Amino acid sequence: MANHPRLLILALVLVVAAFEEVLSTSVMGPRHRGGRELDECQLSRLNSLEPTNRIRCEAGTIESWDPNEDEFRCAGVTVVRHIIEPNGLLLPSYTNAPQLIYIVEGDLLNMHNSLYYTAV
């Protein structure tokens, strides 16, 4: 008797997932992503892009790029760079999406260089 509510919940989840898949396929088509055909992405010619937004803060600078640029739109990513000055602090934050974070220059032992924290 205790398994019936679990089966009902599982069936409901599967129905919602199937409905979402059918709806997304009928609205956007199977080969669309972000409003463009997947075959239209020309990643053989990448451009070096400058940040479209710069916000100066007490501890450094936040730079972001336009996610509607062709390179970012085809890859389906958004790029943000945090430039942290010596003795600056970037507080941890939660993002409900996968992130790739890396330090381009600097380390915690040698604070003479600025730390570059990039989230993709």
Q: Are strands 60-64 and 101-103 parallel, antiparallel or unpaired?
A: unpaired
**Band of the pLDDT at 35, cuts 50, 70, 90?**
low
Tell me, what amino acid is at 117?
Y
**CB distance 64 to 58 below 8 Å:** no
pLDDT in tens, 45-57: 778 889 999 999 9
CA distance 69 to 46: 11
Closest among 114, 41, 49 to 75, alpha carbons compared: 41
Q: Which two tokens stand for residue 56?
A: 């100066």
CA distance 32 to 76: 12
- Predicted confidence at residue 37, as pLDDT, reads 53
**Band of the pLDDT at 114, cuts 50, 70, 90?**
very low
CA distance 48 to 81: 15
**Whole-model pTM over 0.75:** no
Higher-confidence residue of 9 and 58: namely 58
Mean pLDDT check: name the lowest of 16-20, 77-81, 91-95, 115-119.
115-119
